[in-house]
Amino acid sequence: MLRKALRRLAIGIGLVFAVVTITFLLINLAPGDPARLWVAPNASEADLAAARRLLGLDQPLPVRYVAWLVDFVRGNWGTSIAQQRPVARIILDALPHTLLLSGCSLFLTYAIGVLVGAFQAAKRRTPWDTTLTIGNLVVFGMPAYWLAIMLVLTFAYAASRYGWPSWIQFPAMGVASLDADFLTPWGRLVDRLRHLTLPLVTLSLIGIAGTSRFVRGAVLEVRGQSFVAAARARGLPPLTIEGRYVIRNALMPIITLLGLSLPALFSGTVFVEVIFAWPGMGREIVTAVGARDYPVVMATTAIFAVLVVVGNLLADSLYAVADPRIREGQR
């Protein structure tokens, strides 16, 4: 069991190394010169060369990569070229917002998706199942950025312009209102939840649609197995059959889906954070790429890769919880 865990950890470290290597090559080979952010628009070539030496951009690409990798492992993530702030400070400010958005989205995606999928399987070939299937296909086919814009136009712009009730009007950007500091603790919590609503709905709707379709198929497949028929023949209660035999055995492919959905979830937060001006790591990546701020790009990309690897390792560990046979095999 320990050897298997170490092998998975080694694969995860190799994946992170590959991601940061490719990112480093792409950001440094892209057109543009980060040193121009440090000098005046009419600076001379001598001033530009001095700025490159100061930033270490005059070194060969392999030397710069090795130096960055060594500093990153040591915890020295450098200073942002564009913001003139420590990269670690930028990440510490942005990471909680991304984890809040992605964590809530992951919870809603699987909590609601599993319930909807199980309900569809229970109502198979009924109008409920047909309606939910059509709705899932329509939502799942929507690009995240298009859905985000439609939600802004509907629940922020149109709701405000046409005087809709306040409980269906939501802010279109940011994490808090300008007067949030003057609100009561309860008022600040409500204000934060209102700002979180549209980005969270954007990320969760598409995930719920895909998860529910997957769960529906998994539950129907398990219900057709012989051990479920044997449980019915023994006269076990329907709730016992569903909980102990159907749902538990259907969890295995759902856990696989969880591990595969983490990269898509984190990549989806990039577009959503930009559209809603959510101050998370995705927005920092887009801003840093536009400014050729490679220390921020490299650090945020590495953190995203680590989060994906850790999430997949956690999903793998859930197999032993869901299936006792795997737990016995590991022993």
Q: Is the predicted pLDDT of residue 316 greater than 60, yes or no?
A: yes
Would you state the structure tokens that stand for residue 275, as one six-digit string?
A: 């559209």
The residues facing 86 across adjacent strands are 79
CA separation for the pair 213, 253 (Å, rounded):
12
Domain boundaries, the chain: 94-291+310-330
CA separation for the pair 259, 90 (Å, rounded):
28
Nearest CA to 210 among 266, 150, 152, 142? Answer: 142
In angstroms, the Cα distances linking 241 to 86, 89, 218, 220, 300 are 56, 52, 15, 13, 46
Residue type, 284: E
Mean pLDDT of 94-119: 90
Would you state the structure tokens that stand for residue 146, as one six-digit string?
A: 């298009």
Residue type, 118: A
Q: Is the predicted pLDDT of residue 327 greater than 60, yes or no?
A: no
Q: Is the predicted pLDDT of residue 95 greater than 80, yes or no?
A: yes
CA separation for the pair 216, 128 (Å, rounded):
13
Instruction: Compute CA 147 distance to the chain's CA centroid, rounded to the nearest angstrom.
Output: 16
Determine what percent of the chain is predicted with pLDDT higher than 70: 94
pLDDT for position 108: 92
CA angle 120, 123, 129 (to 5 degrees): 55
Neighbours of 317 (CB within 10 A): 12
pLDDT level of residue 200 (50, 70, 90 thresholds): very high
Q: Is the predicted pLDDT of residue 290 greater than 90, yes or no?
A: no
Mean pLDDT of 94-110: 90
pLDDT tens column, 153-194: 999 888 888 888 888 889 888 888 877 778 888 888 888 899
94-291+310-330 belongs to which CATH class?
Answer: mainly alpha
Mean pLDDT of 279-289: 87
Contacts 24+ apart (CB under 8 A), 43-52: none
Question: Would the CA dihedral through 237, 130, 200, 310 be positive or negative?
Answer: positive
Place of tokens 């890769």: 305
CA separation for the pair 261, 272 (Å, rounded):
16
pLDDT for position 104: 92
